[in-house]
Structure 1
């Protein structure tokens, strides 16, 4: 395996502007309080706050009311705990304990019920129930349907990650790229942002290959960039769910060379994103049956994806301590991880 002797995150030259909601810091504080209230985190609250969920929410939400910023920050906080607790179960060989918790979450999403009382008492389940009710209450029928589709895909991708870490062979690059679009956990958050912005595109627009190309390229740019930021941690703990590590393996590169290769991929994917944007907008302009309000909504949606691309990068570089924390870089578990969290169920 290639060695990680030195490491610096390159500048990905993202051609977008970004502004942050003026109350992002407040949202970060309140999202941390929400996590503590639900006992998802019971210690090391300062370290958890350093993730900066409110700052990320404030960078990707555009001009929405504060309550939408806070709700997104709380969902992001829940998602980080979910990811870290899943990592804990993989490390300790207890992935089977995941099933009742995820089963209860999925059942609640589908039916509004969450299994037996013990499952509902788990902080991950109780936190999801609180968030899900408020999220769906602010969504149109179409956006809610997409959210209900994206959450199970996100949860399933975590199972895929666990399988990859147990497998004798590393996943193929394209298989990983497809999985990463869901394990990034971004799609449900994009649904939330679109609802907050009042964007309600009909499903046939979302189903257009040209629209899917925009979404997929945006997800790839964000996810691949995150893999570069998180490389020290994932390399140190032997987690093969990282594009840089996989490029190093499958292309026979050193890790520094693989970082450069992924940087080149990201720059090429940004160009593809921009071309996909133009192709989509030209398509809608050329179709006389497209309602002008739909074209306006698509333009706003595309602008939101740009906010995601640049906002996630700026957050990771300047407002999130997660990727610079010594424990994280050493491949250790997060200081706030609760070893007993899943066993509560």
Structure 2
């Protein structure tokens, strides 16, 4: 029977019983808009039934997965997608969280060899989408989504999705290596890795698909557009690391910017959270300053670029606000945490049973 995880590098006894979370939603909401997709429920019914047909989860874990509200998250993060594009985007989000859970807090978490297997099978499903369906069920769901994405996505968007998926899976593998060896990078080094483990580069590729856009390299390689995407990635990812720290420390997970800051800067928990919050505030301001410098790409592209950037902004605020609409991070107390900003530091949680990966 699995034992309880340990934070070998930090003494949990120094943690307070509760912490006050910074109000990131309010200051981010002054810059980033919030909207919900009107096709949410229709897409959700089909998407959940599709994912359930693969039998990835069963019993209580299955119920918890579907009760988490990934459909709402997709509707908040892709609010301008039509139904034809929202449904595949929702399928992608279900795959992403299932894969992330297996490698982050599930049965693959500390096993480098099994994570490498999972990564190889996953990328093979994307590079050979017309090949046999993988026995690894999570990879099979990705292959199914990707086949449908290819049917109405541009070649450039498809390539961006595959490239960003490679960055994500390789970063997940590196994170597993770090975690298994209790390797703690510097804050700066972790931020670089986190930009890929966040999967935000993937979700922005799906964003372009969801809007039916085909932005040329001239746009994606523009330093200001690239900075807006990078800042959006940082803001929502760092906010997530603050909000998820109470449950991640309970799982013994050190791959979180708050923990990295505690270790690298030798700060206590409250000061580390404040440090990451100040980084996030600064990044929001940098986003505003960069957006003010956005150039014109000409009459044929300007409206499309504006739609894409607006989509980045919806993703940032949608992901932040969804944190307080789901049981994923704060359990049944999510409404109390949203109203008070106070969250309990959870007791250790036993890890999931090991997962065996079949090609």
Asked if TM exceeds 0.5, the reply is yes
Whether the 8 Å CA contact 2:228–2:290 is kept in 1: the answer is yes
Are 1:241 and 2:258 counterparts? no
2:51 to 35, 42, 63: 35
> Secondary structure at the residue paired with 2:323?
helix
Q: Equivalent residue for 1:9?
A: 21
Alpha-carbon distance, 1:29 to partner: 4.5
1:47 corresponds to = 64
Query: 2:103 maps to which residue?
Result: 86
Corresponding position of 2:287: 273
Out of 311, 321, 325, which is 2:327 matched to? Answer: 321
Which of 193, 216, 238 pairs up with 1:179? 193
CA positional deviation for 1:135: 1.6
For residues 128 and 75 of structure 1, what CA distance do their matches in structure 2 show?
7
Q: CA-atom RMSD, angstroms?
A: 2.4
Aligned to 1:194: 208
Once the two structures are superposed, residues 167-210 of structure 1 have per-residue CA deviations (whole angstroms, 9 ceiling, x without a partner) of 34411111211111111112222211212212221012211222
Do the aligned partners of 1:18 and 1:307 also contact (CA within 8 Å) in 2? yes
SS at match of 1:104: helix
Q: Quick one: which of 184, 204, 208 aligns to 2:218?
A: 204
Q: TM-score, normalised by structure 1?
A: 0.88
Deviations 1:217-255 (A, max 9, x none): 100000000001110122222211111111111112110
**Equivalent position to 1:20, from 36, 55, 60:** 36
1:294 has 2:301 as partner:
yes
Kindly tell me: are residues 156 and 264 of structure 1, through their superposed partners in 2, closer, same or farther at Cα, counting changes over 3 Å?
A: same
For the residue of structure 1 that corresponds to 2:255, the secondary structure is coil
Q: Does 1:76 align with 2:90?
A: no
Counterpart check, 1:260 vs 2:278: no
8 Å CA contact 2:134–2:140 kept in 1: the answer is: yes
Whole-Å separation in 1 of the counterparts to 2:130 and 2:120: 11
Displacement of 1:333 in angstroms is 6.5
**Unmatched segments (≥5 aa) in structure 2:** 1-9, 334-344
Tell me what 2:179 maps to: 165
Deviations 1:6-33 (A, max 9, x none): 1232211111221101342444444333
SS at match of 1:63: coil
Secondary structure in structure 2 of the residue aligned to 1:270: helix
Instruction: Tell me how far 1:330 sits from its aligned partner.
Output: 4.4
What runs of 5+ residues in structure 1 fail to find an aligned partner?
none
Does the CA contact (< 8 Å) of 1:233 and 1:329 recur in 2?
A: yes
Instruction: Tell me what 2:341 maps to.
Output: none
Q: Normalising by the residue count of structure 2, what TM-score does the alignment of the two structures yield?
A: 0.85
Does structure 1 conserve the Cα–Cα contact (< 8 Å) formed by 2:111 and 2:176?
Answer: no
